[in-house]
Amino acid sequence: MAFDAPAAPGPGLSPRAMAWYRFSRNRSARIGAFMVVSVVFIALFAPLIAPFPDHAGAVVDFSARHTPPNLTFPLGTDKVGRDILSRVVFGFRLSLLLVAGVLAIAVPLGAALGLVAAWCGGIIEKGMTGFTNVMLAIPPLVMALAIGNVLEPNLVNAMIAITLVWWTWHARLVYRVAKSVAAEDFIEAARLAGAGHLHILAREILPNCISVISVKTTLDAAFVILFGATLSFLGLGVKPPTPDLGSMVADARQFLPEQWWEVLGPGLAIFYATLGFNLLGDGLRDMFDVEV
Amino acid sequence: MRNLLDISDLNVSFSAYGRRQHILKDVALSVPEGGRVALIGETGCGKSLTGRAILGTLPDTARIESGRISLRGESVLDMPPKRREALKGTAFSIIMQDPLSSFNPVLQIGRHLDDVMRFADRRLGICASCAERKARIFDVLRKVQLSDPEWIFAAYPAQLSGGMRQRALIALSLLHQPELLIADEPGTALDVTTQDEIMTLIDRRVSDNGLSLLMITHNLGLVRRMVDEIYVMRHGEIIEYGRTTGLFRRPQAAYTRQLVEAIPPLYGAAVVNRPASTAKPMIELTAVSKAFARRSAFAKSSRHVAVKEVSLSIREGEIFGLAGESGSGKTTLARMIMGLAHASSGAIMIAGKPVDAGSAAARRNRIQLVYQNPGTSLNPKRTVGQTLAVPLAFVGVRGAAAASRIETLLCDVDLPSHYASKFPHELSGGQKQRVAIARALAAEPRIIVLDEPTSALDVSVQRNVIRLLTRLGDTLGLTFLFISHDLSLMRNFCGRIAIMLKGRIVETGSPRIVFARPRHPYTRALIAAAPVMSEEEENLKPHIGPEERRRYLVGARARS
């Protein structure tokens, strides 16, 4: 008897297949995935999808200003006569760019700091968790407003502002997960086998944190879109005439309630993208069976 | 004799992840009134599921496809839900496996007991006052030999020892005088001696109250003591049924035979004597002690001495067994030998050099460790090959050389080479433990510490792993330090053993002599508590009086 008992406990599927099954059975996750994919698709092919691609720029057509939704302009026009649908389509681009930029910096930064804090222990751990807690104590909007005021308002600076308040959540999350993984037998076994610190952090602990990070990142995408919209609403986003969902809402606000469509279009777009990411994140959470 | 419980043609299937799996296949089983029946089999064979089907606590994903479960001839499955509920705790009761996770840590034991009693009362239409219930609970607690019911009632689960928690769990199942007691692996998580106590207790409760017992377990030694009839289950099917003595002496099915043969004998002709080594000492300990500062919420800080002045020497190529109950200091001692912990006093020499001499690298090269639970000692996100590559990279073997070395290592532990690309979840428990052994071998150590390497495995798998270790020890000239509380296993596997009690070594010697003439009363108590497979062996065990029992068995001690 060389091979002991038969392997494959449970339902005989690999974790990946089980995860995929859970995901595919979850209706909200499917809807979320569809919404996110559609947003990405629209953003990528904005010039082809938008009925008036040039309206994303500084086009002025006063004869068509404040047109209610009709067949030519499905979402109506704004105060200078630009097609709102076209601007919303291009607005997705900016939102996704913001999401990508913020998360591409905040997630790896936060994860790395969390891992190092959990693994090193001692003064490094105390210092990092302390600093993270202090950062978390500052209201993110106040922090972002302060940074936005110091720097000139544009996309990159908005990104920096959001990133600076965002990494802390990832640091805390990864710290917590890594701390419990670090106490597992297999970590001590790896150390006994001669593995170095870098190997243990990157190859042993990090793979066990990936599911948590990816769920959190997806959920974060929704918040970053909202946060970016808030910043542009407050005038710290991109400069006109670049179409941005947040500043479109801000501009149109003064024409409420008569020209309601001018707020409704970008508002719905923010809602759609945020909801999509949230549903997808919830689906991933069920799929990986993690708590965030 | 009438049957209390009859199960016939029970088929249960599970639907998981879109697939339907047939788990229990035509299970037929009956428990006579006042009878004692065991259901044995390996992990995942469906024995616990049968118990849950009887109780009516199957998970939502399970479905009873067909079959009958009847209590005194009345079908349980056809009862209205309310009546079926009322059976819980009164007709059927279960003693759960894990005494720790069965209690909510933030609720007092009394609260658990009272809740169960109150709800069962309500179902039965009994109206009892709080004080009345308390009196009844105290009564039950006294029955399970918890001497201070007042204190137990107010205690939180964490304040009780494992044995006491298991007793409290038994009390929980006896609150309403059930007719059938289902014991699902009772005492598995406990030391042999405590387990022995628990078995005696269940035994007494069952005979005193005239209960019927259905014992679900994989421990054949316990079964022999406790029950009259045995059903053997494999892959959801009952493959053999018989009276206990007959079944153990002449097992019919090949699988049962294999199960019975896999149990190492404690006494008798089948016992293997490992030769004692005469080589030079490999590990030498002189008066080694280890003290921990213990912070306590109830008393002022105290020093807890885990290991007290231990001196021993382990020879090269020897299989040295270290036995003792949990908390006796055996793991601490091993960690000091590994260099993972520092001795408070005394000297540890490995191959003639102090243990902390040389670089950490050189130390690792000398000693490796195999953990108790292969499920937690392998990283679930890394393949077997990746896991094995770590120690190889450390000794300077990389790339193609590493790949061929991994192949040899897998071959050494009897695994095919394509297993290098598998993840731990694709392997069975025994295969995982083989990978863990291969990882320990990869660093080419001279000493391997085995920390209960087979206690998480089924008996038949255990035998294969032990066989593998014996072969590796002989061919590679390794020195093993084997930590365990399974005395029958140590009797056959070790060349020399030491018994540890509260941080001290109370007896050392070759297993042949120690088991034939145990000198220390604690050794006698330990051997007497070890479950065995036949009456002859039982009679060869040393006898201990109740006085010694009280003195040395941790589980029998009341709260200090």
Tens of pLDDT along B381-410?
889 999 999 888 877 888 888 999 999 999
Q: How far apart are CA A26 and CA A40, in angstroms?
A: 21
Phi/psi at B256 (5° precision): -65, -40
Nearest to B144 by CA among B160, B124, B122, B120: B160
Which candidate from B44, B386, B425 shows the least CB-CB separation from A15? B425
What distance in Å separates residue B381's CA from the closest CA in chain A?
A: 6
B75 and chain A in contact, CB less than 8 A: no
CA angle B245, B250, B254 (to 5 degrees): 125
Q: How far apart are CA A248 and CA B256, in angstroms?
A: 76
Burial of A29 (0-12, 13-18, 19+ CB in 10 A): buried
B371 and chain A in contact, CB less than 8 A: yes
- What is the per-residue pLDDT for B131? 87
DSSP state, B276?
P
Nearest-10 Cα torsion for A170, A176, A178, A179: 150
ipTM of the complex in this document: 0.74
The mean pLDDT value of chain B amounts to 85
What distance in Å separates residue A205's CA from the closest CA in chain B?
A: 9
**Which residues in B lie closer than 8 A to residue A25 (C-beta atoms)?**
18
- What is the per-residue pLDDT for B372? 85
- What is the per-residue pLDDT for B498? 93
- What is the per-residue pLDDT for B213? 92
Q: Are B39 and B50 in contact (CB under 8 A)?
A: yes
What distance in Å separates residue B530's CA from the closest CA in chain A?
A: 26
What distance in Å separates residue B236's CA from the closest CA in chain A?
A: 13
- What is the per-residue pLDDT for A7? 40
The mean pLDDT of B479-486, rounded to a whole number, is 90
Nearest to B484 by CA among B457, B516, B444: B457
Residues of chain A contacting B, Cβ within 8 Å: 1-15, 17-18, 21-22, 25, 184-190, 192-195, 199, 203-204, 207-208, 210
Q: B430 and A189 in contact by Cβ < 8 A?
A: no
Closest-CA residue of chain B to A6: B428
Closest-CA residue of chain B to A193: B391
The pair of structure tokens assigned to B292 is 């921990």
Name residue B8's beta-bridge partners.
Answer: B68
Phi/psi at B23 (5° precision): -100, -50
Give the DSSP H/E element, type plus range, for residue B461: helix B459-476
CA angle A213, A218, A221 (to 5 degrees): 120
Burial of A42 (0-12, 13-18, 19+ CB in 10 A): buried
What distance in Å separates residue A12's CA from the closest CA in chain B?
A: 9
Q: What is the pTM of this model?
A: 0.80
B425 and chain A in contact, CB less than 8 A: yes
- What is the per-residue pLDDT for A34? 93
B292 and chain A in contact, CB less than 8 A: no
- What is the per-residue pLDDT for A292? 59
DSSP state, B224?
H
Q: How far apart are CA B269 and CA B267, in angstroms?
A: 7
User: Length of chain A, please?
Assistant: 292
Percent of chain A clearing pLDDT 70 (strictly above): 93
**Which residues in B lie closer than 8 A to residue A15 (C-beta atoms)?**
425
Q: B382 and A18 in contact by Cβ < 8 A?
A: no
B17 and chain A in contact, CB less than 8 A: yes
Helices (H), chain A: 15-25, 27-44, 46-49, 84-120, 122-137, 140-150, 155-182, 185-192, 197-199, 206-233, 245-252, 261-288
Which candidate from A1, A22, A189 shows the least CB-CB separation from B464? A1
The residues near B269 (Cβ < 8 Å, ≥ 6 apart) are none
pLDDT one-digit tens code per residue, B324-375 = 887 788 888 988 888 888 888 888 888 888 877 666 667 667 888 998 888 8
Which candidate from B42, B361, B426 shows the least CB-CB separation from A7? B426
- What is the per-residue pLDDT for B551? 67
- The region of weakest confidence among B33-42, B83-92, B160-169, B295-304 is B295-304
- What is the per-residue pLDDT for A110? 93
Q: How far apart are CA B47 and CA B37, in angstroms?
A: 13
The mean pLDDT of B32-52, rounded to a whole number, is 87
Q: A193 and B461 in contact by Cβ < 8 A?
A: no
- What is the per-residue pLDDT for A3? 37
User: Length of chain B, please?
Assistant: 560
Which candidate from B361, B430, B442 shows the least CB-CB separation from A4? B430
What distance in Å separates residue A168's CA from the closest CA in chain B?
A: 26
The mean pLDDT of A217-223, rounded to a whole number, is 89
Which candidate from B16, B364, B369 shows the least CB-CB separation from A194? B364
Number of A/B CB contacts below 8 angstroms equals 103
**3-state class (DSSP) for residue B184:** strand
**Which residues in B lie closer than 8 A to residue A186 (C-beta atoms)?**
376-379
The mean pLDDT of A14-42, rounded to a whole number, is 84
Q: A4 and B431 in contact by Cβ < 8 A?
A: yes
**Which residues in A lie closer than 8 A to residue B369 (C-beta atoms)?**
189, 192
Q: Most B CBs within 10 Å: which of A186, A199, A286, as the mutation test of the B interface?
A: A186
pLDDT one-digit tens code per residue, B3-30 = 889 999 999 988 876 778 888 899 999 9
pLDDT at B556 over 70: no
Mode of pairing for the β-strands spanning B353-354 and B237-243: unpaired
Q: How far apart are CA B468 and CA B433, in angstroms?
A: 11
Q: How far apart are CA A243 and CA B213, in angstroms?
A: 76
Which candidate from A7, A186, A203 shows the least CB-CB separation from B377? A186
**Which residues in B lie closer than 8 A to residue A2 (C-beta atoms)?**
414, 464
B386 and chain A in contact, CB less than 8 A: yes
Distance of CA A274 to the CA centre of its chain: 9
Which position has the higher pLDDT, B335 or A5? B335
Q: Are A129 and A117 in contact (CB under 8 A)?
A: yes
What distance in Å separates residue A211's CA from the closest CA in chain B?
A: 11
pLDDT one-digit tens code per residue, B208-241 = 888 899 999 888 888 888 899 999 998 889 999 9
B59 and chain A in contact, CB less than 8 A: no
B42 and chain A in contact, CB less than 8 A: yes
Which residue, chain included where needed, has tokens 């009693």? B117
Which position has the higher pLDDT, B496 or A290? B496
B312 and chain A in contact, CB less than 8 A: no
pLDDT one-digit tens code per residue, A142-193 = 888 888 778 877 778 888 888 888 889 899 999 999 999 988 889 988 888 8
Q: How far apart are CA B307 and CA B316, in angstroms?
A: 24
pLDDT at A8 over 80: no
Q: How far apart are CA A227 and CA A291, in angstroms?
A: 23
Q: A3 and B18 in contact by Cβ < 8 A?
A: no
Whole-number Cα distances in Å, A155 to A95, A152, A162: 10, 10, 11
What distance in Å separates residue A281's CA from the closest CA in chain B?
A: 20
pLDDT one-digit tens code per residue, A99-111 = 999 999 999 999 9
* Prior bond of A139 cis (ω within 30°): no
What distance in Å separates residue A289's CA from the closest CA in chain B?
A: 14
HSE-CB at B493 with a 13 A cutoff on CA atoms is 34
The gap between the terminal CA atoms of chain A, to the nearest Å, is: 44
Q: Dump strand ranges (E) for B89-187.
A: 92-95, 180-184
Q: Most A CBs within 10 Å: which of B48, B331, B390, as the mutation test of the A interface?
A: B390
Q: B391 and A15 in contact by Cβ < 8 A?
A: no
Q: B378 and A21 in contact by Cβ < 8 A?
A: no
Confidence bin at A205 (pLDDT 50/70/90)? very high
What distance in Å separates residue B406's CA from the closest CA in chain A?
A: 14
- What is the per-residue pLDDT for A5? 39
Which candidate from A7, A11, A15 shows the least CB-CB separation from B428? A7
Q: Dump strand ranges (E) for B139-187.
A: 180-184
SS3 track for A223-284: HHHHHHHHHHHCCCCCCCCCCCHHHHHHHHHHHCCCCCHHHHHHHHHHHHHHHHHHHHHHHH
- What is the per-residue pLDDT for B296? 54
pLDDT at B553 over 70: no
Torsional sign, CA B442, B444, B450, B455: positive
Which position has the higher pLDDT, B37 or B122? B37
**Which residues in A lie closer than 8 A to residue B42 (C-beta atoms)?**
5
**Which residues in B lie closer than 8 A to residue A190 (C-beta atoms)?**
379, 390
